[in-house]
Structure 1
Amino acid sequence: MTGILQRGTATIHYVDGGGSGRPVVFTHGAGMDSESFAAQARAVQDAGYRGIRWDLRGHGASTLAAGTRFSAEDALADLGALVDELRLQHPILVGHSLGGNLSQAYVRAHPDRAGGLVAVGSTWNAGPLSAGERLGLRLAAPMLRLIPASRLPGLMADASAVTPEAIDSIRATFARMPKRVFLDVWRATASFVAPEAGYRTPIPLGLVVGDRDRTGNIRTAMPAWADADGVQLRVIPGAGHVVMADAADATSAAIVHIIRGWDAEGDG
């Protein structure tokens, strides 16, 4: 079932697999859309869960009103509104990159409303940052602004995936977003990073990353996060940042395995 959620300055498009299983909400990364999680949503649906994927405002089939800029606060509110609209009880949140940052922020703000968190190729919002990493966050948007709009989709795709098919698909998706919107989306992504010493994820946590992810500090931050929270980091061989595009089946299997493991622990 597809649906539209009216949000005043945006319309939010979502796809809901339905059913009575535990809800699993997939949130895609910056410049991408919900189609990037289509295979994983089908996999959890086949495993007996309720797979829900949505397009962030200004992405995919979701709109952004003229004169409205993408912001972290609005995106976070959209996720909450979607959970309310679909009357989801303790949904499992699965987020890639920006989607992972957004899902972390939701859990941090509403620890009693989510039933699990799976971060895929996403940095650790609450984790410590070195001086160099802080500088990199501040300089990323200005550096991206210098790249011509015609070259940006290709550069982002080359940095995000490994297989030629995945690179081509990601390039086409990125090309649909105006550069000015992408820069706002990037700033929003960076704003979710808010170190907090001693913070630990208060709900079940799963972490997935591609072994060839070269984006930011993800390949160093995710192992540190796994150690801090005492969970296993599942590394997908031969996959870059968008692991779902490079290795769809392996990513789906990892996510289903994580969720089933939580259910098994609950039954025990």
Structure 2
Amino acid sequence: MVKLAGNLRRPDAELRFADRGGDGPVVVFTHGAGMDHTMFEAQADALGRAGHRTVLWDLRGHGESALHPGARFTAAGALADLAALFDELELDRPVLVGHSLGGNLSQTFVREHAGRAGGLAVLDSTWNTGPLSGVERLGLGLSVPMLRLIPAAGLPGLMARASAVSPEAVARIEATFRRMPKAAFLDVWRATVSLVSPDPAYRTPVPLGLIRGAEDRAGNIAAAMPRWARAEGVFEQVVPGAGHVVTLDAPDATSRALLRLLEQWRLDDARDDARDDARDERSAG
């Protein structure tokens, strides 16, 4: 278990985080709605063994990070928290890894602060700026009212069964969801919906990687992520036998997918540096 030893005080929240050190490139993991940092423990361990400096944190109102009395979860607050975490740890262009809501937040952060991130890896999250069909717009608009109709006692189990394939993952997700009151979860869901803002001309200004569970049936993710990959000209890694929470259904395969992605970016950087050096030599000659 990862101990969140770090504490970051915000105007309306107390954030807990873990900076696990290391001399390699920094990777910041941001979990999904209703979840917490533990969903990324296997991936943080694998990347740490490969030499990366990994940072885990709990979003405000999730896990060990508490909202102050009367405060509510908003996308703006969570984005400001992520920027504050960058400042607290003096992070220089880390790779952002985000799942579901964490992927939506990471996309928006890169869009608003492109110079602060070195790469973006999105797991099982919709494409914030991608086009939406009429049916998709309708589903997005009805998602909060429909969730409001589900009894509080049944919501964690329903969400868990919709989020994972393996019984072990379903049980872990349900236990995590049960720690969040329904009213708080609805606030989180509203924040997630608010981050979807179609903009057909936008393209991600940093290296981008997409990872999805093959059996993810959440929202429009199974349709949106392949469209996103084609639009951006990147390869979408699809993990067999995994649902929405791919990190728990297939932890080792997800870790390997992230490591492949980071290694490819490293090779791309090295190739670009070599090409720049060769061009400089020709210019000097």
> The TM-score by the shorter chain falls in which range?
over 0.9
Q: Deviations over 1:56-98 (max 9, x none)?
A: 0000000011111100000000001001110000010000000
- 1:9 maps to which of 12, 16, 26: 12
Count of equivalent residues: 268
Corresponding residue for residue 101 of structure 1: 104
The TM-score, its normalising length taken from structure 2, stands at 0.93
Counterpart mapping for 1:87-98 below 5 A: 87-98=90-101
Residue 2 of structure 1: how far off its partner (Å): 2.2
Corresponding residue for residue 74 of structure 1: 77
Corresponding residue for residue 277 of structure 2: none
| 1:22 and 2:25 aligned | yes
Counterpart residue type for residue 219 of structure 1: A
Counterpart residue type for residue 203 of structure 2: R
Quick check: 23-32 or 7-16, which moved more?
Answer: 7-16
- Structure-2 separation of matches of 1:6 and 1:134: 37
Corresponding residue for residue 182 of structure 1: 185
Q: Deviations over 1:74-124 (max 9, x none)?
A: 000000100111000001000000000000000000111100000000000
Counterpart residue type for residue 258 of structure 2: I
| 1:33 and 2:36 aligned | yes
- Structure-2 separation of matches of 1:44 and 1:14: 17
| 1:113 and 2:116 aligned | yes
- Structure-2 separation of matches of 1:223 and 1:111: 23
Counterpart mapping for 1:192-203 below 5 A: 192-203=195-206
- Structure-2 separation of matches of 1:45 and 1:245: 18
Runs of 5+ consecutive residues of structure 1 not aligned to the other structure: none
Q: Point out 4+ residue stretches in structure 1 off by more than 3 angstroms.
A: none
Corresponding residue for residue 211 of structure 1: 214
Residue 146 of structure 1: how far off its partner (Å): 0.6
- Structure-1 separation of matches of 2:89 and 2:245: 27
- Structure-2 separation of matches of 1:40 and 1:15: 14
The TM-score, its normalising length taken from structure 1, stands at 0.99
Counterpart mapping for 1:166-177 below 5 A: 166-177=169-180
